[in-house]
Amino acid sequence: MIGEFTPGLLIVLGLVLAAEFVNGATDAPNAIATVVSTRVLSPIAAVMMATLFNSIGVMSGTAVAVTIGKGFVQHQVIDLRTIAAAMVAIVLWSSLAWRYGLPTSESHALVASLTGAGFAVGGVKALLWSGWNKVLLGLLFSTFLGFGGGLMLIVAIYWVFRRAAPRTVKTVFGKLQVLSAAFMAFSHGSNDGQKFMGVFTLALIVGGLLPGGKEFHVPWWVILICSIMMAIGTLAGGWRIVKTMGIRMVKLEPYHGFAAETGAAAAIEIASRLGIPVSTTHTINTSIMGVGAARKVSAVRWGVVREVVSAWILTFPACAIIGWVVTFLMRGLDLKW
């Protein structure tokens, strides 16, 4: 470290951890929703497993963290106020969605909030639209690959096990789903988990505690702190999201959960290696829809799907506006950071 903690920096880091807590309550449950809803693992066991594999996933690379830290707003306009405003927007919007049990995309909330805050400081010139290209590409990954992956896997399972006894199928996939849930948690860490750790590191750089430069390195203690905060959030409030995804949207058996998790995790991993920030929420939700649709279209409760999709669509404008307003107010009050 090359500087010291200031009150402003401590406030910002606290807001990042608050956003990570909300991420744990609203987004991280996506990684364990199916394994809990199929009763293959208890909520406590699932959270512990998710915490471990999220952390391993985070340490598997930093391409997504770099995209978030450098890809959306000019560095000249990023200061502690813009980071703080973005975190306030995420906490407010995601907490509202959580209240109604709706899974939100913290990826899109983060991108939109940073964009709104950056626009308030430097206008259109402050924005880097190249980052949004990756976001739009991520939407394709999360939507089409998620749905298609879940659909193809469940169809393959139906064909391979078409003559197997139901009890045998349940026993086999009860064990396999533990592996697919671990894979899903790992992929969440390799993509979503990197994002707030990237913002935490960015705040340390802006605050002068870490050196800037071309290399964007996330310290091990940042990974540890953020992983613990995410786990606490999942344990405290994750059941609302698990209930929406794993129970309300479509009734799942272990083999459905295995197909949904494996299809979603594979899509997320491809995106992570390419440095594309994708939404775990979108990917696992669309994968669950694909699995449900393979049975029959009516197996998916499309009314619940409409509620979830509405939350997805509103995330972009809501978080951008809140980020802009909070930054504007901070500048107006001339707060010293």
In a domain, 1, yes or no: no
Instruction: Note the pLDDT of residue 334.
Output: 59
Residue 219 placed within a domain? yes
Quick check: is 2 in a domain? no
Q: Does the residue 81 lie in any domain? A: yes
The kind and range of the H/E element at 117 are: helix 106-122
Q: Give the model's pLDDT for residue 328.
A: 85
Residue 242's domain spans which residues? 7-331
Distance CA 137, CA 271 (A): 9
Per-residue pLDDT tens digits of the chain, which is 337 residues long: 556 788 889 999 999 999 988 887 777 666 777 777 777 888 778 777 877 887 787 777 667 766 776 667 776 778 888 899 999 999 998 888 777 766 677 778 888 898 898 888 888 887 777 777 777 777 777 778 888 999 999 999 999 998 899 889 988 998 899 999 899 888 887 777 778 888 898 899 888 888 876 666 778 888 888 888 877 887 776 666 666 655 555 567 889 889 988 999 998 888 887 777 777 777 887 888 888 777 765 556 666 667 667 767 788 899 999 999 998 888 766 555 5
Instruction: Give φ, ψ of 133 to 5 degrees.
Output: -60, -40
Q: Would you call 98 helix, strand, or coil by DSSP?
A: helix
Whether 336 is in a domain gets the answer: no
Residue 243 lies in a domain: yes
Q: Residues 6 or more apart from 169 whose CB is under 8 A from it? A: 161, 255
Note whether residue 20 is domain-resident.
yes
Q: Is 157 within a domain?
A: yes
**pTM of the model as a whole:** 0.79
Count of domains forming the chain: 1
What pLDDT is attached to residue 243?
A: 63
Give residues with Cβ within 8 angstroms of 267, minimum separation 6.
141, 142, 145, 146, 149, 278, 283, 287
